Amino acid sequence: MYMASDPSTRDKVTDTFTQASNCGMNVARTWAFSDGGYRALQTSPGVYNEDMFKGLDFVVSEAKRHGIYLILSLVNNWEDYGGKKQYVQWARDQGQLMNNDDAFFTNLITKGHYKNHVKAVLTRVNSINGVIYKDDPTILGWELMNEPRCQSNLSGKPIQDWVMEMSTYVKSIDKSHLLEVGMEGFYGESMPEKKQYNPGYEVGTDFISNNLIPQVDFATIHLYPDQWVPGSNETSQAKFVEKWIQAHTSDSKLVLRKPILVTEFGKSSKSSGYNVQARDNYFRNIFNSVYSCARARGACGGALFWQVMAQGMKSWSDGYDVVLQESSSTVSVISLQSRQIASLNK
Q: Is 79 an annotated catalytic residue?
A: no
Residue 258 CB partners (closer than 8 Å, separation 6+): 211, 216, 217, 218, 219, 252, 299
Catalytic member of 147, 180, 184, 234: 147
Q: Is 189 an annotated catalytic residue?
A: no
In whole angstroms, what is the distance from residue 144 CA to residue 162 CA?
10
Residue 189 CB partners (closer than 8 Å, separation 6+): 155, 156, 206, 209
Catalytic member of 62, 180, 184, 264: 264
Amino acid identity of 340? Q
Closest CA to 80 of 306, 241, 257: 306
Report the catalytic residues.
147, 264
